[in-house]
């Protein structure tokens, strides 16, 4: 509990707040007695005094503090255990993925947007659109902390209790603390524990740049972020790894001439079906390339065919340093002996016609 001083430093004017039955209980540091509505009266003008704590509704109050977090601002939740911060572990878009500890970074799965319900805060991951949540609304020590679609339940509401120097204990609606499971470190999961002030229960909220949606489609953005953050990686030759990853999918025949904005639905189909035709190969790789910061676009055109003369085909163009490159993961799947990655139109193994 953090004492709140009023007037002067005398203990009789200092109060400590804690969660109790029916709301926040305010205990006087001088007497130990708590604020109490006389006779539990529910009428205008009822007297308020101090009384021995008895766990009744007459001693529970709704406290509306100046919020520690700004409404709608994006935060990284740093741990007092070292250079670690909270993030969504596992599949970013999957309900029930655990909240875990990881190295400090600036990835979307490590960001949370603050909103408020009265005196409590709700923390939502901007990639998945899901909230930090106590599984099944449990109050038991060891209960896992996960992400879950917003449902307005107390399991997704938390109180921030200051512990000094800008650090907080994050308490559930049941009064339990969120704690990094021992021994901590990369991948350690968040769980409930009795409040005790340990370093594993202390967190700092650092304002960070908002997450910028890649495609405008939350489902696809979660897929792309998950693949780049947990499977392909974002450093080094990430574009080449992304190309090889997509080229490794299986070919499934499908519609020949896509229409409208097809790259978003086709990319999702490719991912969920673990295969597709040339347009779906192109769509998924294009969005992975964009996720890595490349100027990538899908192309509908034709390539030579022994039986048809020219056959409809889809591929990806990447504009880099004034040059347009072709990337064709479908051809890399069909003819792996040739190079189909970052070749110019003049050096490509086949002639592309747009």
Query: Following DSSP, what letter does each residue of 24-52 receive, concatenated?
Result: EEEEETTT--EEEEGGG--STT--EEEE-
144 and 102 co-located in one domain: yes
Whether the CB-CB separation of 312 and 299 falls below 8 Å is answered with no
CA distances from 112 to 74, 222, 297 (A): 6, 14, 30
Tokens coding 285: 């790789």
* Lowest mean per-residue pLDDT among 210-214, 295-299, 312-316: 210-214
How confident is the model at residue 143, as a pLDDT?
A: 98
106 and 154 co-located in one domain: yes
Say which residue the tokens 């639905």 belong to. 265
198 and 83 co-located in one domain: yes
CA 158 – CA 246 distance, rounded (Å) = 40
Candidates 268, 234, 274, 276; CA nearest to 107 is 234
Tell me, rounded to whole angstroms, the distance of Cα 14 from its chain centroid: 38
141 and 239 co-located in one domain: no
pLDDT tens digits for range 170-199: 999 999 999 999 999 999 999 999 999 899
More confident residue, 164 or 297: 297
224 and 304 co-located in one domain: yes
How confident is the model at residue 111, as a pLDDT?
A: 94
CA 303 – CA 206 distance, rounded (Å) = 51
Whether the CB-CB separation of 86 and 186 falls below 8 Å is answered with no
pLDDT tens digits for range 62-81: 765 556 899 999 999 999 99
How confident is the model at residue 347, as a pLDDT?
A: 97
CA-based R_g, the chain, Å = 27
142 and 234 co-located in one domain: no
Tokens coding 73: 């601002």
CA 296 – CA 287 distance, rounded (Å) = 8
Q: Are strands 84-88 and 99-103 parallel, antiparallel or unpaired?
A: antiparallel
Laid out side by side, the sheet with 34-37 consists of: 3-5, 14-20, 23-28, 34-37, 48-51
The pTM for the full model equals 0.57
Strand partners, 15: 4, 28
Which ranges of the chain does DSSP label H, i.e. alpha helix? 218-227, 238-247, 263-273, 278-291, 329-334
CA 129 – CA 148 distance, rounded (Å) = 9
199 and 223 co-located in one domain: no
121 and 226 co-located in one domain: no
Specify the CATH number for the domain of residue 284. 3.10.620.30
Q: Which residues of 85-95 are buried (b: 16+ CB within 10 A; e: fewer)?
A: bbbbbebbbee
CA distances from 241 to 227, 289, 294 (A): 11, 10, 14
| Per-residue pLDDT band at 22 (split at 50, 70, 90) | low
81 and 188 co-located in one domain: yes
More confident residue, 212 or 330: 330
Specify the CATH number for the domain of residue 137. 2.80.10.50
181 and 247 co-located in one domain: no
Do the domain assignments include residue 119? yes
Strand partners, 353: 302
Say how many domains are in the chain. 3
* 101, pLDDT greater than 50: yes
pLDDT tens digits for range 111-160: 999 999 988 999 999 888 899 999 999 999 999 999 999 999 999 999 99
Q: Is 176 exposed, middle or buried (0-12, 13-18, 19+ CB in 10 A)?
A: buried
80 and 14 co-located in one domain: no
Do the domain assignments include residue 342? no
Do the domain assignments include residue 130? yes
How confident is the model at residue 26, as a pLDDT?
A: 87
Do the domain assignments include residue 341? no
pLDDT tens digits for range 261-271: 899 999 999 99
Domain that holds residue 13: 3-59
Do the domain assignments include residue 39? yes
* 311, pLDDT greater than 60: yes
231 and 178 co-located in one domain: no
* 4, pLDDT greater than 90: no
More confident residue, 340 or 23: 340
CA distances from 26 to 55, 172, 210 (A): 12, 18, 36
* 85, pLDDT greater than 60: yes
Percentage of the chain exceeding pLDDT 70: 94
CB neighbour list of residue 21: distance below 8 Å, 6 or more residues apart: 55, 56, 57, 59, 60
CA 68 – CA 20 distance, rounded (Å) = 21
User: Average pLDDT over the chain, rounded to whole?
Assistant: 90
Do the domain assignments include residue 69? no
């Amino acid at each position: 509990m953090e004492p709140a001083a009023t007037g002067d430093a005398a203990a009789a004017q200092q109060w400590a707040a804690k969660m109790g039955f029916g709301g926040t209980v305010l205990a006087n540091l001088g007497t130990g007695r708590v604020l109490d509505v006389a006779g539990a009266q529910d009428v205008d003008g009822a007297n308020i005094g101090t009384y021995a704590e008895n766990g009744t509704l007459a001693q529970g109050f709704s406290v509306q503090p100046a919020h520690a977090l700004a409404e709608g601002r994006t935060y990284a939740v740093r741990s007092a255990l070292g250079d670690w911060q909270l993030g969504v572990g596992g599949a970013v878009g999957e309900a029930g993925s655990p909240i875990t500890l990881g190295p400090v970074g600036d990835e979307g799965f490590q960001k949370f947007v603050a909103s408020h319900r009265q005196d409590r805060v709700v923390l939502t991951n901007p990639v998945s659109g899901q909230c930090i949540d106590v599984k099944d609304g449990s109050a038991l020590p060891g209960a896992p902390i996960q992400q879950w679609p917003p449902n307005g339940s107390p399991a997704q509401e938390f109180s921030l209790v200051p512990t000094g120097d800008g650090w907080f204990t994050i308490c559930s609606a049941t009064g339990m603390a969120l704690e990094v499971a021992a021994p901590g470190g990369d991948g350690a999961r968040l769980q409930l524990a009795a409040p005790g002030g340990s370093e594993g229960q202390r967190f700092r909220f650092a304002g960070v740049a908002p997450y910028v949606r890649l495609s405008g489609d939350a489902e696809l953005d979660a897929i792309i972020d998950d693949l780049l953050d947990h499977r392909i990686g974002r450093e080094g030759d990430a574009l080449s790894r992304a190309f090889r990853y997509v080229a490794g999918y299986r070919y499934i025949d499908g519609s020949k001439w896509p229409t409208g904005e097809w790259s978003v639905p086709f990319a999702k189909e490719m991912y969920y079906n673990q295969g597709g035709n040339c347009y779906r190969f192109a769509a998924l790789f294009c969005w992975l390339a964009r996720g890595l910061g490349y100027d990538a676009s899908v192309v509908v055109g034709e390539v030579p065919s022994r039986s048809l003369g020219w056959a409809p085909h889809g591929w990806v163009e990447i504009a880099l340093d004034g040059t347009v490159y072709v990337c064709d993961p479908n051809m890399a799947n069909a003819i792996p002996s040739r190079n189909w990655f970052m070749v110019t139109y003049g050096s490509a193994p086949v002639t592309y016609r747009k």
